[in-house]
Amino acid sequence: MRTTLGVPLVLAALMSVPPSPGLAGQKPGAAPVAMDLTREEDMMSSMGIAGYDPETGEVGLAMASRFFAVGYIATHARGGVGAINTMGGAPYGDGPLMLDWMEEGASPQEVLDRLQERYDNIGQIVLVDARGRSAGFTSGSQSQWRGHRVGENYAAGGNILAGPEVVDGFADTFEETAGSGLPLAERLMRALEAADAAGGDARGRMGASLKVYKPGAGFGGTDIYLDVRVDDSPHSIEELRDLYERWKVERLQQYGTRMIQQNAGADVATLQEWLVELGYADRTDPGMFDASGNPLGRFNDATVQAVVRFKEDHELGSDPNANREVILKMMALMRGRSAWDDPLRPGGGG
């Protein structure tokens, strides 16, 4: 299901609305919100996706906007409950309340219905719960193209976008990676990258956020499995990807990223496999592989020479080590290849 709100509004008409002391459309009795939605910047027009992984029970979201530090205001998630993106003049302060409602058993659509009882205008919201139920709403108060699309285990939307292809980028990518075994975080990140590649926020970039929550899965037993954001950068989505890759190295200790600490072992064997995949080694090289073509897993001269060739080709220096930058570059080059043993896939990398 998708909205078809594809006709831009005239900003001058929006600006002619008299200023309001609180949230536009706020009904009597609702808590006041210090926001003037006649100002485009107060609407926090953005784009985002909320998703659920039925295999792991994780909920998460990805968002980007030409708005400073959008992540800490407009993204809401709770392990075992759900994930919500609030955009385009939504009641941002009601994020915890919406999660409370879902935790009490309300479906995403029921959450939207309750909000509409509280406010005349709820802006734009996409949300999913920890049962895979999803919903979205897009009001007519944003200028430029706006809309949303809801599917199995996800909801995506945005406003002041380059066009409907942006929301389709979110949705199509998330649907295409369903059942792939990729982690929810990777699927959300790829969906955000696809939406950005389709044109993204028509105003440009500034803030971006990526979150995944699951009960007890985070550091120290918290529900915060992954929570990274970029607050102020014209390259926010690329930098969000870099933070996610860094998180995999520092927090996840992902298989295949620790060989800088090893002279021999499974991580070095993974490195040797990657060198073959990228064309810097040959499986018939007895210095790196046995007679059956299996990696020896020793960081020996043959492996060092291949690593140095790779580093020089990609302007990563010529030191004889496979540091974090080398590993991240290799992973970036191989991402999307069907033939390699993807360590992002549960059970991947051996």
101-126 pLDDT tens trace: 999 999 999 999 999 999 988 888 99
Beta bridge partners of 93: none
Among candidate residues 342, 43, 339, the one with its CA nearest the CA of residue 181: 342
Q: Return all residues near 264 (Cβ < 8 A) that are at least 6 apart.
A: 297, 298, 299
- Ranges in the chain annotated CATH 3.60.20.10: 11-244
**Coil, helix or strand for 253?**
coil
Global confidence as pTM: 0.66
Q: Say which residue the tokens 């390699």 belong to.
A: 340
Identify the CATH number of the domain defined by range 11-244: 3.60.20.10
On the question of pLDDT at 273 being above 80, the answer is yes
- Residues 51-72 have pLDDT tens digits of 999 999 999 999 988 778 776 7
Both tokens assigned to 310: 């790779």
Mean model confidence pLDDT for the chain: 79
Nearest to 91 by CA among 115, 64, 75, 58: 115
Q: Is the pLDDT of residue 30 over 50?
A: no
Instruction: Using pLDDT thresholds of 50, 70 and 90, give the confidence band for residue 338.
Output: very low
C-beta atoms surrounding 281 within 10 Å? 25
Look at 24-38, 177-191, 309-323, 329-343 and tell me which has the smallest mean pLDDT.
24-38
pLDDT beyond 60 at 319: yes
* Helix ranges (DSSP H) in the chain: 11-15, 71-74, 95-103, 108-118, 164-176, 184-197, 236-250, 266-277, 301-313, 324-334
The Cα 268–Cα 285 span in angstroms is 15
CA distance 64 to 170: 12
In the chain, where does the domain assigned CATH 1.10.101 lie? 259-334
Determine the residue type at 38: T
Q: How far apart are CA 61 and CA 134, in angstroms?
A: 13
Q: Domain 259-334, what architecture?
A: Orthogonal Bundle (1.10)
Of 83-92, 312-321, 322-331, where does mean pLDDT reach its minimum? 322-331
Q: Is the pLDDT of residue 39 over 50?
A: no
Percent of the chain with pLDDT over 70: 78
